[in-house]
């Protein structure tokens, strides 16, 4: 990043905005960047716990809102958390002696579709923000919220402020989007599981996308997709360093998500290990092996609006086969009911079994494109720990296995060691 007169977007998460004291710290940090000559746009989340509190109030009045008219009201309620935090941050900046102004999503406007509680951004008008920047103002824009074509307030899904920040950065053609958060970067795996996990100074966009979708919770997946589509230079860094550290040092800290493979300094074959316990396994036994059965099973699941992840079908014996797949654990009961009640009997399958106590562990790395034997090394490592693999799925840059949930930590640690992730050159 050029350090003179750049256009910079900062995003601060709920923890960083958690109290007026912390907001004052955010303001001092932003002021440091502004005084160094940068044009600053800041996108904060609601104060930590606030979105949960607001949605909790809603739940007291309607436990399970589903109708669009009720979901609309959830967005009306949840969006207020961000409205408060932008106002507070603008005040804090003014108290620091800076000219600052805050805007909600509808004032910018940030336009979205009408999918309440999980809306997608369709466009952002940069005119108002640009005019303020030209006047030398720091501009603060709410995360998480937008407005649809009919003028209704929408929200972007939990964790959506990341996506707001990246989208604003894309619209403004910002030089860099810095995501300040309560961790100091992207790690080879979750340091709570593997204390030796190492922060990466760079990670490729493709790897970050896999890590985010496979269970690393550092960035909302949509924000990474957005960054990829518009090639927004993105950095994840800590908001807990002292606000007055050297700007040049701060600008180099954390993890940079890069787009050029050769920009990536670390050439490890496997860059990181992701895991999640959010899925459950379902098996339909004794399915007649004939055209259309996969469609009959998965079509019914898709019609119920349930996502399917890993899928395997065995070779058949005597004209029958077993068919297994994973679904989000929250949808497990619904899928079992659906299959046992209608789908399996209709196709003459012998039984439906399932297991919600599974986990998915994945190795991720650009280097897997050009190296053979990586998956084999993963399988050997797991076998040495006597961990049984139930399902496997691969893409060009990842291999995932489904295993018993009780072995998750053991598997992640063993793989982290086997691929020497704590030792890779920084």
Binding stretches for ligand ASP (CB under 6 A): 14, 45-46, 51, 81, 143-144, 158-161
Nearer to ligand ASP, 161 or 283 (CB): 161
CB atoms within 10 A of CB 153: 23
How many residues bind to Mg ion according to rule CB under 5 A?
Answer: 2
Q: Which does 106 bind (CB under 5 to 8 A by kind): Mg ion, ligand ASP, none?
A: none
- Check: CB of residue 78 under 8 Å from CB of residue 68: no
Q: For the residues of 258-285, what is the DSSP string, one character each? A: ES-GGG-----S--EEEEE--EEEEEEE
- Interacting residues with Mg ion between 159 and 198 (CB under 5 A): 159
Cα separation, 160 vs 163, whole angstroms: 5
Nearer to Mg ion, 48 or 241 (CB): 48
Nearer to ligand ASP, 51 or 271 (CB): 51
Residue 81 as a binder of Mg ion (CB under 5 A): the answer is no
CB of 46 vs ligand ASP, minimal distance in Å? 4
Strand 279-288, strand 320-328: pairing: antiparallel
Q: Mask of contacts with Mg ion, 315-334, x by CB under 5 A?
A: --------------------
Strand 358-364, strand 398-404: pairing: antiparallel
Nearer to Mg ion, 146 or 159 (CB): 159
CB of 158 vs ligand ASP, minimal distance in Å? 4
CB of 78 vs ligand ASP, minimal distance in Å? 7
Q: Which does 158 bind (CB under 5 to 8 A by kind): Mg ion, ligand ASP, none?
A: ligand ASP
CA-based torsion, 383, 388, 394, 399: positive or negative = negative
CB of 82 vs ligand ASP, minimal distance in Å? 6
Nearer to ligand ASP, 44 or 185 (CB): 44
In the sheet with 121-124, reading across from the earlier edge strand, the strands are 121-124, 110-112, 145-147, 153-155
CB atoms within 10 A of CB 124: 21
Question: Directed axis angle between helix 161-172 and helix 221-230, to 10°?
Answer: 10
CB of 159 vs Mg ion, minimal distance in Å? 4
Binding residues for Mg ion (CB under 5 A): 13, 159
């Amino acid at each position: 990043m050029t350090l003179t007169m750049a256009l910079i977007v900062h995003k601060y998460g709920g923890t960083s905005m958690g109290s007026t004291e912390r907001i004052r710290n955010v303001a001092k940090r932003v002021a440091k960047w502004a005084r160094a000559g940068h044009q600053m746009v800041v996108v904060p989340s609601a104060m930590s716990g606030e979105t949960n509190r607001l949605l909790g109030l809603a739940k007291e009045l309607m436990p399970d809102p589903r109708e669009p008219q009720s979901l609309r009201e959830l967005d009306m309620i949840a969006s207020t958390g961000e409205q408060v935090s932008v106002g507070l941050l603008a005040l804090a900046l003014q108290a620091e002696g800076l000219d600052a102004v805050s805007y909600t999503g509808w004032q910018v406007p940030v336009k979205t579709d009408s999918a309440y509680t999980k809306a997608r951004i369709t466009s952002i008008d940069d005119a108002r923000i640009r005019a303020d920047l030209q006047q030398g103002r720091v501009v603060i824009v709410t995360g998480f919220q937008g407005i649809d074509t009919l003028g209704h307030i929408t929200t972007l899904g939990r964790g959506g402020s990341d996506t707001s920040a990246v989208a604003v950065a894309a619209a403004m053609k910002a030089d860099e989007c810095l995501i300040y958060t309560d961790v100091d970067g992207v790690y080879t795996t979750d340091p709570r599981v593997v204390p030796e996990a190492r922060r990466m100074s760079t990670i490729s966009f493709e790897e970050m996308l896999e890590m985010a979708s496979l269970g690393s919770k550092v960035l909302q997946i949509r924000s990474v997709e957005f960054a990829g589509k518009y090639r927004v230079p993105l950095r994840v860094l800590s908001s807990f360093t002292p606000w007055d550290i050297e700007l040049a040092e701060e600008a180099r800290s954390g993890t940079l998500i890069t787009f050029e493979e050769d920009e990536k300094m670390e050439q490890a074959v496997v860059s990181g290990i992701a895991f999640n316990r959010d899925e459950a396994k379902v098996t339909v036994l004794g399915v007649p092996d004939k055209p259309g059965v996969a469609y009959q099973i998965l079509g019914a699941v898709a019609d119920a609006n349930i996502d399917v992840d890993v899928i395997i079908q065995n070779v058949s014996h005597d004209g029958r086969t077993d068919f297994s797949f994973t679904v989000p654990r929250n949808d497990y009961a619904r899928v079992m009911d659906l299959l046992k009640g209608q789908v399996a009997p209709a196709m003459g399958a012998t039984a439906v079994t399932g297991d919600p106590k599974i986990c998915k562990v994945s190795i991720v790395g650009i280097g897997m494109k050009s190296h053979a034997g990586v998956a084999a090394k993963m399988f050997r490592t797991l076998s040495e720990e006597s961990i049984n693999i139930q399902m496997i799925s691969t893409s060009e840059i990842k291999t995932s296995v489904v295993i018993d949930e009780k072995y998750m930590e053991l598997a992640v640690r063993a793989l982290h060691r086997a691929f020497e992730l704590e030792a890779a050159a920084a």
